[in-house]
């Protein structure tokens, strides 16, 4: 058997295992064997919490994820949710993009897609839309175009703790790059390991379904992103994860390996800067962000305060859907530039108990 055939067989095995786990084994969030897909997340803006409250109870009860992947500046956007499951994030985004926006969910699990489709008309009615602005497609993240997803079509692609479930991460990121418009953003939450995990974890079916076996070594994300054409990954938040499980065997198997749940953003931008620094000024007009816009862990724009950034970063902002949220001015030649750089998510991770979502309430993911 050739190496290509072996790889294809392994991918088929993982796909079948994950589909069975999320389609048949799990009926609700409480059925999960570990805490990974029910971890708390950061405090959410009021408008996001209000959108999530409008999601149908059945959709919310079948939600699995390790973060909240709802960035700002969404009105009128075309959004693709990869691994959309029961549609929880899609329906929240449906409210936030407005009637002129469009949200598509892609998932390979028939049972989950059926639940999501069941509530399309319900949410359109709740949101007061004349026509639904959501649809759900059955297909694989590594082959979205094959499933009918159009190239160069989306302002935003999101993914909530799903890339780890994909056996071929490079293929997945490459396809995400293709379906994004120039200037588009991939905004996603996922689990990362502090090293390459051994085969006894990589091939464990329950740990695959629990988002652990497929966790990427964090350094590999930057390598893959660069290979397919994305900008340097921008780390937004990071949370340490202690693997808790009722099964002592699973706890022993995971052992001392370390994991974080992290949110990143990647931009697709075909234009390069001229190398000259630029003063960028945030206008403070984004909903929920009147005083500050945090691009990543190292770069934060405060309202009306010029921040000198590299020419390439300025081009990314001008290329993105955030373009009109800033003013751009030539920077003094001696100015110190803020640049995007790789950040170790383990170095900046907060403890699991440091932040929860809502107003001090329980985990949003549960």
Q: CA 241, 203, 163, 359: dihedral to nearest 10 degrees? A: -30
Tell me what pLDDT residue 279 has: 95
Tell me what pLDDT residue 361 has: 34
pLDDT at 110 over 70: yes
Beta bridge partners, 200, equal none
Cα angle 41, 42, 44 (rounded to 5 degrees) comes to 110
pLDDT at 230 over 90: yes
pLDDT at 318 over 80: yes
pLDDT in tens, 80-99: 999 999 999 999 999 999 99
Contacts of 243 (CB under 8 A, 6+ apart): 34, 35, 36, 212, 250, 251, 254, 259
Cα angle 162, 163, 165 (rounded to 5 degrees) comes to 65
Q: What are the tokens at 334? A: 């001696």
Q: What are the tokens at 206? A: 């329950």
CATH number given to 278-330? 3.40.5.100
C-alpha dist (Å) from residue 174 to 6, 17, 77, 226: 21, 23, 21, 10
Calpha distance 145→82 (Å, rounded): 12
Domains 3-270+344-348 and 278-330 share a fold: no
CATH number for 3-270+344-348: choose from 3.40.50.150, 3.30.390.10, 3.90.1300.10, 3.90.199.10: 3.40.50.150
Mean pLDDT in residue range 177-186 = 98
Each domain of the chain, given as residue ranges in start order, spans: 3-270+344-348, 278-330
Tell me what pLDDT residue 335 has: 61
Q: What is the 3-state secondary structure (H, E, C) of 44-92?
A: CCHHHHHHHHCCCHHHHHCCCCCCCCCCCCCCCCEEEEECCCCCHHHHH
Tell me what pLDDT residue 212 has: 83
- Residue 352 CA from chain centroid, whole number: 19
Assess contact for 60 and 82: CB atoms under 8 A.
no
pLDDT in tens, 130-159: 999 999 999 999 999 999 999 999 999 999
Chain position carrying tokens 């959410």: 44
Mean pLDDT in residue range 116-120 = 98
Q: Tell me the backbone φ, ψ of residue 15, rounded to 5 degrees.
A: -60, -45
**Cα radius of gyration (the chain):** 20
pLDDT at 28 over 80: no
Pairing of strands 300-302, 292-294: antiparallel
Mean pLDDT in residue range 328-332 = 88
Neighbours of 51 (CB within 10 A): 20
pTM: 0.85
Assess contact for 56 and 124: CB atoms under 8 A.
no
Chain position carrying tokens 């660069």: 226
Judged by average pLDDT, the poorest of 12-16, 222-226, 233-237, 328-332 is 12-16
Calpha distance 29→7 (Å, rounded): 31
Q: Tell me the backbone φ, ψ of residue 5, rounded to 5 degrees.
A: -65, -40
């Amino acid at each position: 058997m050739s190496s290509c055939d072996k790889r294809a067989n392994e991918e088929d095995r993982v796909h079948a295992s994950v589909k069975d786990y999320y389609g048949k084994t799990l009926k609700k969030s409480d059925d999960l064997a570990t805490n990974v897909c029910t971890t708390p997340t950061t405090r959410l803006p009021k408008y996001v919490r209000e959108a999530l409250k409008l999601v149908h109870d059945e959709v919310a009860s079948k939600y699995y994820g390790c973060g909240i992947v709802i960035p700002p500046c969404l009105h009128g956007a075309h959004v693709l949710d990869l691994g959309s499951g029961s549609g929880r994030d899609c329906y929240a985004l449906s409210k936030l993009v407005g009637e002129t926006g469009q949200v598509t969910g892609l998932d390979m699990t028939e049972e989950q897609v059926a639940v999501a489709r069941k509530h399309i008309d319900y949410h359109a009615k709740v949101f007061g839309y004349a026509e639904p602005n959501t649809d759900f497609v059955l297909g694989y993240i590594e082959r979205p175009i094959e499933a009918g997803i159009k190239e160069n079509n989306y302002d935003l692609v999101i993914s909530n703790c799903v890339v780890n479930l994909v056996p071929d991460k490079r293929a997945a990121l490459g396809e995400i790059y293709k379906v994004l418009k120039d200037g588009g953003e991939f905004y996603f939450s996922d689990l990362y390991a502090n090293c390459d995990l051994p085969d006894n974890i990589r091939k464990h079916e329950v740990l695959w379904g629990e988002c652990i076996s497929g966790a990427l070594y964090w350094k590999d994300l930057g390598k893959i992103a660069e290979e397919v054409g994305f900008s340097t990954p921008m780390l937004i938040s990071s949370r340490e994860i202690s693997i808790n499980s009722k099964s002592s065997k699973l706890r022993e198997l995971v052992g001392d390996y370390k994991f974080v749940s992290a949110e990143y953003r990647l931009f697709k931008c075909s234009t390069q800067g001229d190398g000259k620094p630029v003063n960028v000024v945030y206008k403070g007009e984004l909903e929920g962000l009147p005083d500050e816009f945090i691009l990543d862990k190292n770069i934060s724009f405060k309202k009306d305060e010029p921040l000198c950034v590299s020419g390439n970063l300025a081009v990314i902002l001008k290329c993105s859907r955030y373009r009109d949220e800033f003013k751009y001015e030539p920077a003094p030649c001696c100015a110190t530039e803020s640049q995007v750089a790789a950040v170790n998510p383990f170095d900046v991770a907060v403890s699991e108990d440091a932040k929860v979502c809502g107003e001090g309430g329980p985990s949003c993911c549960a």
